[in-house]
Amino acid sequence: MGAITPVMFRSVAMTLGDAFNRRKKLAADLQAWINRLGVAGTQRRSYRTATLDGDGAYRPEPGTEKSSTRQYTVEECRARIAAILTEDTELALRISRTNQQARAEIEDLGGQARVLSIPELLVLKDDAIPKLEQAARAVPLRADDVGVYESGDDWVRYRIVKKVERKNETFSDKGLKVEEIELLGHDVVEVTDYGAIRREQWDEIDRIGEFAQRVKQAINQANKTELVELD
């Protein structure tokens, strides 16, 4: 195995988006080298032998010998892992500092223009917006296809009526069973419905969805900010 050439890194101008992509690549590379390190500690030779004693001890029988050779040394794997971790740590620090400085303008749900940092935008994207949509979908909806007999500014009133019946069985003169349904009355439930009109809920969910899209676009714009250098 050849000598390991030290890997030197220099700061390269890149955007936040470039840095995130680079860290994804470094994570994959790190796992690959960790896997290689796991098999770098041994080389194996296997065979079948007829005896373990005497002159022929541990002599391979023809056609049974197999061997495996490691592709990387432990030192090479550890050096590559260390280099990856060094670069990844530096990128993580640069991303953290840049996140505090990067800004993007966005129109909020109230129609006001605001300038937010990436952490603030991420709070909107990952926490606030999902809760807003959940709350919008939880609003009770006004019942459709009911007989409204009274209404107000934000409510309607209707009745749910259910027949109460009893089945009576008798026998005719010829001995045949006859079933008769007797109406005993009606169960009535009067409902005052304060639910929202379905279209209003859909419009609100659409409005939140459009806001979510604006937040994503603002994050993409902020990710074009050039990465700051470490002191």
- Looking at the fold, whether 39 and 71 belong to one and the same domain comes out as yes
Task: Please state the pTM of the whole predicted model.
Answer: 0.65
pLDDT on residue 145: 86
Residue 40 lies in a domain: yes
pLDDT on residue 12: 53
Tens of pLDDT, residue by residue over 16-29, are 999 999 999 999 99
- Looking at the fold, whether 87 and 162 belong to one and the same domain comes out as no
Residue 51 lies in a domain: no
Mean local confidence (pLDDT), 157-183: 86
- Looking at the fold, whether 126 and 14 belong to one and the same domain comes out as no
What are the tokens at 46?
């296997």
What is the span of the domain harbouring residue 186?
148-193
- Looking at the fold, whether 22 and 78 belong to one and the same domain comes out as yes
Residue 55 lies in a domain: no
Among 64-73, 161-170, 201-210, the range of highest mean pLDDT: 201-210
Residue 71 lies in a domain: yes
**Quick one: which of 102, 91, 137, 127 has its CA closest to 218?**
102
Residue 163 lies in a domain: yes
**Chain-wide mean pLDDT for the chain?**
89
Mean local confidence (pLDDT), 40-57: 84
- Looking at the fold, whether 111 and 171 belong to one and the same domain comes out as no
pLDDT-based confidence at 37, cuts 50/70/90? very high
pLDDT on residue 139: 93
Task: Average the pLDDT over each of 47-51, 124-128, 158-162 and give the range with the smallest value.
Answer: 47-51
Q: How many residues does the chain have?
A: 231
Mean local confidence (pLDDT), 135-155: 91
- Looking at the fold, whether 204 and 135 belong to one and the same domain comes out as yes
Residue 80 lies in a domain: yes
47: Cα separation from own chain's centroid: 50
Residue 211 lies in a domain: yes
- Looking at the fold, whether 27 and 84 belong to one and the same domain comes out as yes
Amino acid identity, position 151: S
> With the CA atoms of 72, 76, 78 and 79 taken in that order, what torsion angle do they form, in degrees rounded to the nearest 10?
-150
DSSP the chain: -PPPPPP-------BHHHHHHHHHHHHHHHHHHHHHHHTSS--EEE--BS-SSSTTTTPBPTT--EEE--SS-HHHHHHHHHHHHHHHHHHHHHHHHHHHH-EEEEE-TTS-EEEEEHHHHHHIIIIIHHHHHHHHHHSPBPPSS--EEEE-SS-EEEEEEEEEEEEEEEE-TTS-EEEEEEEEEEEEEEEEE-PBPHHHHHHHHHHHHHHHHHHHHHHHHHTTSBPPPP-
Contact 225, 168 (CB under 8 A): no
- Looking at the fold, whether 94 and 124 belong to one and the same domain comes out as no
Residue 52 lies in a domain: no
pLDDT on residue 3: 47
pLDDT on residue 47: 83
- Looking at the fold, whether 167 and 214 belong to one and the same domain comes out as no
- Looking at the fold, whether 94 and 116 belong to one and the same domain comes out as no
- Looking at the fold, whether 25 and 93 belong to one and the same domain comes out as yes
* Strand partners for 44: 68
Beta pairing class for 44-46 and 66-68: antiparallel
- Looking at the fold, whether 123 and 162 belong to one and the same domain comes out as no
Report how many domains make up the chain.
3
